[in-house]
Structure 1
């Protein structure tokens, strides 16, 4: 089931999205504040998209589309368990032409609303590099609060940097 925000549509991702995902994951500017992992071929990305289990309670992966239908990023709610009602959120916009125009904020709100309403989550968590001010601004804007600090867990340009752990309860979404 797709989810709609004011500016974005969240929809399931599939093999047809492999080229975009591969391109974003190999763009240093897009991946600047993320754990990159190891380089993969387009074929490996397509295989992962093809073989991953379909969206279900424990792991929901959405492509973020702008009104014209262009795939501009992804958002994922994962690690959810019915016993705890908590999921982790990952998000990024891979198409840099759409940065700073409200799409990420709308995608965050839409994904969180989906998590709280459709998945019946009680809490959504994420981690963010403390120097990633653009992301932190968005997270705070939609209601996430810092709950802790993970010291020196992210390596960037030869330096170890801290991350915030952040959380959003169902009634806190703005």
Structure 2
């Protein structure tokens, strides 16, 4: 099936997911490595964000990642800034349920999203941004074939220090060659 693997399934995000997303969005440990704006968000603000930004954008697709065995929601993944003319998009992944960290769910989520992006949507390129201190994510993206494309120097202030944002990209032909090995 298109939106499932051995461990996870995707389901389209809905407005009813705002409360679940609000819990992840307000978990500072979860957001430390993914959100440049650490803050506490009231539920109404998250509902508005989900409705307008996540669901209201014609250039994005967002999915709740579910543990296939238990049906537990474990995170969110999205393709944003989808440009069908030039066949490009940016991907985002957040494993919001900390009980699922370090068990390969991020890798499986990203593989499923990339399969969809490259094999179903026929995108040419998928990009992402990652904080320079998030070594585990950088290594994961490199394993999946993402190439370093640039750096936004010292544009994130976190933990009393300046950090870079690394820009990475993966081409369809690279992904297909990698998945055949």
Alignment check: 8 A CA contact 1:15 1:47 kept: no
What is the CA deviation profile of residues 126-169 of structure 1, one whole-angstrom value per residue up to 9, with x for unaligned ones? 01111101111211121111111110111111211012110011
Deviation at 1:39, TM superposition (A): 3.2
* In structure 1, distance between residues paired with 2:132 and 2:12: 30
Residue from 67, 77, 80 that aligns with 2:79? 77
What secondary structure does 2:92 align onto?
strand
Gaps of at least 5 residues in structure 2 are none
What secondary structure does 1:78 align onto?
strand
Alignment check: 8 A CA contact 2:2 2:116 kept: no
1:126 and 2:99 correspond: no
4+ runs of 1 displaced by more than 6 Å? none
What is the CA deviation profile of residues 9-67 of structure 1, one whole-angstrom value per residue up to 9, with x for unaligned ones? 11111122222211111111101122136532212322333455758872101111111
What is the CA deviation profile of residues 53-102 of structure 1, one whole-angstrom value per residue up to 9, with x for unaligned ones? 75887210111111111111011101111221110111110101100111
TM-score by length of 1: 0.90
Matched residue, 2:112:
110
What secondary structure does 1:137 align onto?
helix
- Residues 84 and 17 (structure 1), Cα distance of their counterparts in 2 relative to 1, 3 Å cut: same
Matched residue, 2:64:
63
Matched residue, 1:86:
88
**Between Structure 1 and Structure 2, how many residues are aligned?**
174
Matched residue, 2:145:
143
TM-score by length of 2: 0.87
Gaps of at least 5 residues in structure 1 are none
Greater helix proportion: 2
RMSD (CA atoms) = 2.1
